[in-house]
Homo-oligomer: A and B are copies of this chain.
Amino acid sequence: MDIAMIVEGKARAAREAARALALCSTRTKNEALQQMARGLEEKTAAILEANRADVERARAAGVARAFLDRLTLTDVRIETMAAGLREIAGLADPVGETVEAWRRPSGIDIARVRVPLGVIGFIYESRPNVTADAAGLCVKSGNAVILRGGSEAIESNTLIAAVLAKALEKTGAPPDAIQFVEVTDRAAVAAMLTLDGLIDLVIPRGGEAFVRWVAERSRVPVLKHDRGVVHVYVDAAADLDMAATIVLNAKTQRPSVCNALETLLVDHAVADRFLPVVAARLGQAGVELRGCPETVRRVPGARPATPADWDAEYLDLVLAIRVVDGLDAAIEHIRGHGTGLAEAIVTNDLGRARRFTREVDAAAVLVNASTRLVDGHQFGLGAEMGISTSRVHARGPVGVRELTTTKFIVHGDGQVRD
């Protein structure tokens, strides 16, 4: 059987299951999530064994240590996956929520009500825990999911997905709602992307080039996360202690993620006072600095930045720094180099804070807070499939609500159109 046929078969099964899952009660979906958690716990030994095969293969291929670490499962990590599923069970069910409702002069009552999107195609890379998160979020939001994980974790993911699907059998939820594509050939992804009509939304999670590859050829709508070239602008009216704390946190708390700081912009008026202090603290934290000439003059340890640095998503302990002439120049820099994920200003000037939040175009704009707070959990929205930099459908953290659409329900007493 060829790859396209295999993928289409799974999509058809998912489509059927989606219809049944959409009508399952919140209680049934939560019970399914509890069973999924229990399934992972009961199959821990088998999952660890499958994972060992992946890890050994990766080690033989000579991958980097950080990669090996992300790939490796342990008892504790499997327990964390199960806890994640139980946490999703505790989230409010978005399905059935009335978003708004009103009565028209003719007497018809109109309600806009949340319903599942249908079938989600989720394409991701190596970390096996993502399999459980994604399946859990889809089940909670009443969507069937077609999971397509990276080849490096194929043994782990195949087993985890099978355990999760099997767990649904013990409940009223349809086991076919969780599909896993074992074919690691990229042709399997290409096949998914042609299945408009069977798949309602594709969410690719991975490197920039891969996400672009998906977006460029998909006939299914794509919710994507491009890149996170994230800025903090330290304004002339900033509390400089607060600014240093925010910059340190945004850059170093977890540098490898999309909402970590990449370029620091500093108003010329406070550069003399701020830069030496923050540079010393960043240096202590092991951050390499690359600055504009104005920065290098004030921070002798900083390397001169090249034009490429202003567009770099380092995802590492490296920071670009540029001194700018006030708010307009900061906004202009962000306009030219930002990727629309998260942008922050540190200031105590109300007028400039207002202008920054209005004029900077990003999924999240922050005043006096770390960009690392842009996250479903930190926002209080629960677990997330990722952070969308798309403008349509959902922008920012993609949680269970963003996996729904709405329908209008109209009740009348025989009303017709004149």
Identify which of B118, B216, B335, B370 contacts A417 (C-beta below 8 A): B370
Answer yes or no: A133 CB below 8 A from chain B CBs: no
Stretch of A35-43, A272-280, A357-365 that contacts chain B: A357-365
Name the residue in A221, A361, A408 with the highest tally of chain B Cβ atoms < 10 Å from its Cβ: A408
Q: Is the CB of A417 within 8 A of B372?
A: yes
Chain A residues numbered 343-372 whose CB sits less than 8 Å from any CB in chain B: 353, 357-359, 361-370, 372
Q: Is the CB of B391 within 8 A of A405?
A: yes
> What residues of B have a CB within 8 angstroms of the CB of A392 in the complex?
117, 200-201, 221, 223, 392-393, 405
With known contacts A417-B249, A417-B378, A368–B411 Cβ distance under 8 A: yes
Q: Is the CB of B378 within 8 A of A104?
A: yes
Answer yes or no: A239 CB below 8 A from chain B CBs: yes
Q: Is the CB of A415 within 8 A of B359?
A: no
> What residues of B have a CB within 8 angstroms of the CB of A374 in the complex?
408, 410
Answer yes or no: A380 CB below 8 A from chain B CBs: yes
For A216, the closest partner residue in chain B by CB is B219
Determine how close the nearest CB of chain B comes to the CB of A244; give it in whole angstroms.
10
Answer yes or no: A110 CB below 8 A from chain B CBs: yes
Answer yes or no: A406 CB below 8 A from chain B CBs: yes
Q: Is the CB of B407 within 8 A of A362?
A: yes
Q: Is the CB of A395 within 8 A of B405?
A: yes
Q: Is the CB of B373 within 8 A of A415?
A: yes
Count of residues in A whose CB is under 8 Å from the partner chain: 69
> What residues of B have a CB within 8 angstroms of the CB of A108 in the complex?
369, 373
Answer yes or no: A264 CB below 8 A from chain B CBs: no
Answer yes or no: A409 CB below 8 A from chain B CBs: yes
Answer yes or no: A78 CB below 8 A from chain B CBs: no
Name the residue in A110, A215, A245, A391 with the highest tally of chain B Cβ atoms < 10 Å from its Cβ: A391
Determine how close the nearest CB of chain B comes to the CB of A220; give it in whole angstroms.
9
Rounded to whole angstroms, the CA-CA distance of A369 and B415 in the bound complex is 5
Q: Is the CB of A390 within 8 A of B221?
A: yes
Answer yes or no: A76 CB below 8 A from chain B CBs: no
Rounded to whole angstroms, the CA-CA distance of A353 and B391 in the bound complex is 36
Answer yes or no: A74 CB below 8 A from chain B CBs: no
Q: Is the CB of B117 within 8 A of A379?
A: no
Q: Is the CB of B23 within 8 A of A410?
A: no
Rounded to whole angstroms, the CA-CA distance of A411 and B369 in the bound complex is 7
With known contacts A104-B379, A110-B379, A393-B392, A365–B118 Cβ distance under 8 A: no
Answer yes or no: A2 CB below 8 A from chain B CBs: no
Interface string of A7-27 (1 = CB under 8 A from B): 000000000000100110000
Q: Is the CB of B364 within 8 A of A242?
A: no
> What residues of B have a CB within 8 angstroms of the CB of A239 in the complex?
414
Q: Is the CB of B407 within 8 A of A370?
A: no
Q: Is the CB of A365 within 8 A of B408?
A: yes
Answer yes or no: A416 CB below 8 A from chain B CBs: yes
For A409, the closest partner residue in chain B by CB is B357
Answer yes or no: A196 CB below 8 A from chain B CBs: yes
Interface string of A206-226 (1 = CB under 8 A from B): 000000000110010111000
Q: A110-B380, A372-B417, A373-B412 are in contact. List 10 more A-B contacts (CB 8 A).
A: A19-B361, A104-B378, A118-B391, A239-B414, A250-B416, A365-B407, A368-B412, A369-B411, A370-B417, A374-B408
Pairs A–B under 8 Å by Cβ, sample size 23: A23-B359, A104-B379, A110-B380, A117-B392, A201-B392, A216-B219, A221-B390, A221-B392, A239-B414, A245-B416, A357-B409, A362-B407, A363-B408, A364-B407, A364-B408, A364-B410, A367-B409, A368-B414, A368-B415, A369-B414, A369-B416, A373-B416, A373-B417
